[in-house]
C-alpha cells in the first residue's frame, strides 16, 4: 500500500472506540505532524458520487438512505454492528477504497510533516491490516467500561448499541499485543499529553540513531 523509505515513516495510532485518540491527535496536529483520519476517509466512501456509495446501497438496500438520498450512518451502523456477517460485507467494500485513499494522503502529506513522520489514526488499524505498513504502532488504552460510558454520552447511543460497537472491535488485550507504544488514558488529559510527548521524543531518537527507518 505504502512504499517505505529511510526518509519517512507512517505511525499507526489506534485504540478502542472512545478511548481518547482525539486528544493525542489534537496534540500531534498542533505540533505540526500530519494525521490521516481513516474514519473520515471511510465517510467519504459513503458520499454520493463515490463508487463505494452505490456498492453499499446495492448491498444493504435503500432503507439505509435519508430522504435526501445520503446514507443514514446510524441506520447502517445498527445493521452492521448487530450482525458480524453484514459488518464483514461492508468492510469488504470499504477497506480497499480506504487503503487507496490512505496511500494518496500519505504521499501528499509526508513532505510537509515534522521529521517526515505521518500518523494514521484508525480504530480498526489492526483489523483492517493497515498496521502492516506502519513503522510503529501506538495504542491508546482505556478501561472498556469507561469507554462504553463515554461512547453512550458522545454519540447518544443506548447501552446495547454502545456495547455492540465495542464488541465488534478487538479486545484491549488483542490490540495491545501489537503495540510498540502504549498510551494509558486512565488519568487526567494532561497525563495522556505527557505520554504522547515522551513517545514522540523516543520516536525521533529512534529515527536519528537509525533503529527506526
Residue 6 is predicted with a pLDDT of 54
Question: Which CA distances in Å does 211 have to 6, 7, 13, 207?
Answer: 11, 13, 20, 6
Residue 168 is predicted with a pLDDT of 77
Residue 213 is predicted with a pLDDT of 54
Question: Which CA distances in Å does 52 have to 61, 79, 151?
Answer: 14, 17, 27
Q: In what order do the strands lie in the sheet with 9-15?
A: 34-37, 117-121, 9-15, 136-141, 181-184
Residues 6+ apart with CB under 8 A from 76: 46, 56, 60, 64, 90
Residue 93 is predicted with a pLDDT of 96
Residue 104 is predicted with a pLDDT of 95
Which of 160, 154, 200 lies closest to 181, judged by CA? 200
Residue 59 is predicted with a pLDDT of 97
Residue 212 is predicted with a pLDDT of 67
The pTM (predicted TM-score) of the whole model is 0.86
Read off the C-alpha cell for 17: 472506540
Residue 4 is predicted with a pLDDT of 53
146-150, Cβ contacts within 8 angstroms, sequence gap of 24 or more? 146/186, 147/16, 147/17, 147/18, 147/19, 148/18, 150/18
Q: List the chain domain ranges.
A: 9-208
User: How far does CA 132 lie from the centroid of its chain?
Assistant: 14
User: Which string of b and e fits 177-211 if b means at least 16 CB within 10 Å?
Assistant: eebbbebebeeeeeebeebbeebbeebeebbeeee
pLDDT tens string, the chain, 213 residues long: the values are: 565 555 789 999 999 888 889 999 999 999 999 999 999 999 999 999 999 999 999 999 999 999 999 999 999 999 998 899 999 999 999 999 999 999 999 999 999 998 899 999 999 999 999 999 999 999 999 888 887 888 888 888 888 888 888 877 888 899 999 999 999 998 889 999 999 999 999 998 888 776 665
CA separation for the pair 39, 3 (Å, rounded): 22
CB of 33 closer than 8 Å to CB of 117 = yes
Q: How many CA atoms lie within 13 A of 166 on its CB side?
A: 23
The fold adopted by the segment(s) 9-208 is: Rossmann fold (3.40.50)
Amino acid at each position: 500500500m505504502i512504499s517505505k523509505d529511510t526518509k519517512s515513516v507512517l505511525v499507526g495510532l489506534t485504540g478502542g472506540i472512545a478511548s481518547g485518540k482525539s486528544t493525542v491527535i489534537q496534540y500531534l496536529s498542533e505540533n505540526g505532524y500530519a494525521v490521516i483520519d481513516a474514519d473520515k476517509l471511510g465517510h467519504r466512501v459513503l458520499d454520493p458520487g463515490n463508487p463505494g456509495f452505490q456498492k453499499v446501497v446495492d448491498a444493504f438496500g435503500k432503507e439505509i438512505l435519508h430522504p435526501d438520498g445520503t446514507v443514514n450512518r446510524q441506520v447502517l451502523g445498527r445493521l452492521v454492528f448487530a450482525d458480524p456477517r453484514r459488518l464483514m460485507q461492508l468492510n469488504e467494500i470499504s477497506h480497499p477504497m480506504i487503503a487507496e485513499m490512505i496511500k494518496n494522503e500519505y504521499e501528499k502529506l509526508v513532505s510537509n510533516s515534522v521529521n517526515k513522520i505521518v500518523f494514521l489514526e484508525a480504530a480498526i488499524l489492526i483489523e483492517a491490516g493497515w498496521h502492516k505498513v506502519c513503522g510503529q504502532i501506538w495504542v491508546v488504552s482505556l478501561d472498556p467500561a469507561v469507554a462504553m460510558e463515554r461512547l453512550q454520552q458522545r454519540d447518544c447511543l443506548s447501552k446495547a448499541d454502545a456495547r455492540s460497537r465495542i464488541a465488534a472491535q478487538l479486545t484491549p488485550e488483542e490490540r495491545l499485543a501489537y503495540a510498540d507504544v502504549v498510551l494509558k488514558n486512565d488519568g487526567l488529559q494532561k497525563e495522556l499529553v505527557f505520554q504522547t510527548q515522551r513517545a514522540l521524543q523516543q520516536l525521533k531518537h529512534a529515527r536519528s540513531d537509525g533503529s527506526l527507518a
